[in-house]
Amino acid sequence: MDKTSLYQLIQEQLDPERTGFVAVENFTSLVEHHELQLDPSKLDMLFALVQSNEHGQVCYQELIELMSSKRSSSFRRAIANGRRTLQRDILLDETGLGVYKRFVRYVAYEILPCETDRRWYFHQSRLCPPPVFMAVITIIQIVVFLCYGVMLNKWVLQTYQPEFMKSPLVYHPGHRAQVWRFLSYMFMHVGLEQLGFNALLQLMIGVPLEMVHGILRISLLYMTGVVAGSLTVSITDMRAPVVGGSGGVYALCSAHLANVVMNWAGMRCPYKLLRMILALVCMSSEVGRAVWLRFSPPLPSSGPQPSFMAHLSGAIVGISMGLLILRSYEESLHKQCSWWVLVFSFITFLLFAIFWNIFAYELLGVQIPPPP
């Protein structure tokens, strides 16, 4: 029996009067009678939904959303209101798991703060589609870096080479009319140290986040951080170019770290305090290195060195938009008022940045270094 037939059978036999509610005992017997089984995570959600209703019933619409794995806030709301303690063992007690399932369990404990969410993700996780976005971005960045490294015969401080700054991918204020540069700069890096730092974080944090929250949400967060980074530089550091994917990386990392802090008691990842301190030290060191290169370049250069403001704007995107995304696992973002507030705020910032780039440079008389 397919899902559509099952839904019709549920409504015809268990809710013939179209009241909108179904008794959980009748539904469970119906599923067993027709030899259909619920995933353990879905059964947990069903119990939680029932406990949120004082009459021991489950809303028909919430039941359909649960059966179809539709993103919804129904089960989270039910768990928050329910009084029943789920009887199933925690995921750490699961035995006989294969390599992939053990990795999925590891990701669940790294990213999600709630045991019920972790079980839901564990049973819903599939190999297809794989988390390809962060992997593809990282591969492209490495390939581009290798190409310029071979061409320039230089692997660190590549921005001091005029040929590097002539790349059509680098954001330079003199070329800001070429709008693709506000995004394409993420494929260029100052040197091996910046590329290594960004690639490591993209794979260690970005890939697990993409596995749990999906390619659409994580790619949106990453790209928003990248765009916000170049736009912020064009407003606050108007003479400086920008290279590197740090805006997107800091959006991901800041969102994850903020989510860990706000759900500290629920996070079960090992050594979380030590890892939190280590992550903050590494991120602060990278910002400090970028500030040093911007204002005290170690080598003579023909113009200003890349700005560090992309790091800071990426972190702001992560703490605001990113935190909301990570806290909305299996919830529809478009149904949340705070999501639309953030979207409106970003669009306002985008329009302001566009007008700034069109008019402010001439009005303020900014002396832009000639583009290479």
- Cα end-to-end span (Å), the chain: 66
Token pair for residue 106? 């590891």
The answer to whether 319 and 254 have CB atoms below 8 angstroms apart is yes
Coil, helix or strand for 95?
A: coil
For residue 59, the surrounding DSSP H or E stretch is strand 57-59
Spatial neighbors of 101 by CB under 8 A, at least 6 apart, are 94, 122
Residues designated as active site: 246, 311
Of the candidates 291, 307, 353, 321, the residue with the CA atom closest to the CA atom of residue 223: 321
User: How far is 306 from 180, CA to CA, in rounded Å?
Assistant: 17
Query: Rounded to the nearest 10 degrees, what angle do helices 215-236 and 132-152 cross at?
Result: 50
Residue 51: CB atoms within 10 A of its CB come to 19
